[in-house]
Amino acid sequence: MAAWSDLTFDALEHITSLLSFSDRYRFGAVCKNWRSVSKGTQHPPAPQLPWLVLEEESETRKRKFYSLSEDKHYSIEIPELYGRYICGSSHGWLFAVDIKISGIIINPFTRKYYELPPLPAYHKNVDVTTLIENVPSDCMERPRGFTFKEMQTAIVFKAILSHDPDEMSDFTIMILFGQMHSPAFWRPGDSSWTVVDGPKCAMEDVLYFQENFYIISAMNVLYVVDFEPEPKLIEVGPQICPEICLEGCALQRYLIDFNENMILIERFSLSVGNELPITHGFNMIEPNLEEDCLYEWYDIDDYAIFLGRNSAIFVDSSDVPECKKNAIYFTHITESVSPVEFGFHDLGVYDITDKRINTFYSVGVFPPRVDSPVWFTPNSS
């Protein structure tokens, strides 16, 4: 009988196409030949649930990840992320900011990354870019009202990519930054961020859809980014009246490209006493730009959507048995106001059918409060 290590390249590559991301790494650890096949395969991993990117371990500085499919943590050595705050993910890349308020995008598994220019000012009275040239890595002094740690977590609200940088070198990063979550973009070769001109109101999410960037405001107004001649926001689509919910208010709005349909998802919260707001429901609307009308969505069939600081992700539950169908998995994106216990507290999975919320993690495996949980689809290409 032939040894497993003597299997042909084609046979081994076919096996890797059936493996999840983490199983592919285990496959590559068997022997030198299998490791070569694992790294060189052109097949994407088998369909899987997204991971969560968690905090840095204080003693080892390893970055913690949580695999939803396996219900377990991984601690991975990624020196490029030491001391950095993760504030976005897109196409398998992470957007991270360090204590000196400089950013990078990085694929944590290939370790390829791009260093980014200094970020724009938080607002006109809080511009840290002139103060950070000689700031030590552990500096916590206040830059005009903010500690550097506070600024590190607040400066960028959302960050997305137009394309996977490994597949297209001419990509664009769009961020929502500062007090009003204003849009700004960067492309490889740019020496600075370009701020997009627009109305003086808070923006809540950004989506790259059919070769355009779309942004939704807190007032439920949809905009498209017009890059020429000067970058600006232009209002588009039908008027979207804010949803009225007697049991709470809209905490956050998200945009997702769901099977080539742009969907606006409103997330409703409810506060009890002095407690922080807790998610209790979602509403889904399709602003159809071609027909200039709105369609309300009541279910997503066998799919699940993953919302948070990431570019919204959807998964077909028929491909991933452990995935709950017709459901929305969510993480919180608002930090605790507690000066002692900084973290995030509102994570769960919303069943669209019965309108109930449950946890998606096992007790004891995933703590109720974690730092900056961000959904992330591993990408080893």
Whether residue 257 is found in the same domain as residue 366: yes
Residues 33 and 67 in one domain: no
**Domain identity same for 35 and 177:** no
Question: Is residue 270 included in any domain, yes or no?
Answer: yes
pLDDT, position 109: 86
Both tokens of 137, joined, read 């890595």
Mean model confidence pLDDT for the chain: 82
Rounded to 10 degrees, what is the CA torsion of 250, 235, 165, 45? Answer: 50
Q: Do residues 13 and 117 both lie within one domain?
A: no
pLDDT at 337: 41
For the cut 90, the answer to whether the pLDDT of residue 351 exceeds it is yes
The string of pLDDT tens digits covering residues 190-235 is: 999 999 999 989 999 999 999 999 999 998 899 999 999 999 999 9
How far the first Cα of the chain sits from its last, in Å, is 34
Q: Is the pLDDT of residue 125 over 50?
A: yes
Are the CB atoms for 19 and 45 separated by under 8 Å?
yes
Task: Note down the domain range covering 68.
Answer: 47-376
**What is the pTM assigned to this prediction?**
0.85
* Whether pLDDT at 139 is above 50: no
Give the separation between CA 321 and CA 368, rounded to whole angstroms: 25
Strand 173-177 with 293-297, pairing: unpaired
Q: Tell whether 381 is covered by a domain.
A: no
Residues 192 and 316 occupy one common structural domain? yes
Q: Are residues 64 and 195 in the same domain?
A: yes
Flag whether pLDDT at 338 surpasses 60: no
What per-residue confidence (pLDDT) applies to 127?
52
User: For residue 267, what is the enclosing H or E element?
Assistant: strand 261-270
Do 219 and 272 have their domain in common?
yes
In 3-state terms, what secondary structure has residue 170?
Answer: coil
If asked whether residues 15 and 57 sit together in one domain, one would say: no
Q: What is the pLDDT of residue 136?
A: 44
Is there a domain that residue 1 lies in? no
52-56, 353-357, 364-368, 374-378: segment of lowest average pLDDT: 364-368
Contact 236, 185 (CB under 8 A): no
H-state helical runs in the chain: 9-16, 21-28, 32-40, 148-154
Using CA atoms, how far apart are residues 160 and 173, in angstroms rounded to an integer? 6
In a domain, residue 186? The reply is yes
Q: Do 175 and 196 contact (CB within 8 A), yes or no? A: no
HEC assignment per residue over 13-55: HHHHCCCCHHHHHHHHCCCHHHHHHHHHCCCCCCCCCCEEEEE
Per-residue pLDDT band for 126 (boundaries 50, 70, 90) equals low
Q: Identify whether residues 117 and 15 lie together within a single domain.
A: no
Counting the structural domains of the chain, the total is 2
Task: Give the least confident one: 3-17, 261-275, 320-334.
Answer: 3-17
Same domain assignment for residues 124 and 237: yes
Kindly report the CATH number assigned to the domain that includes residue 155. Answer: 2.120.10
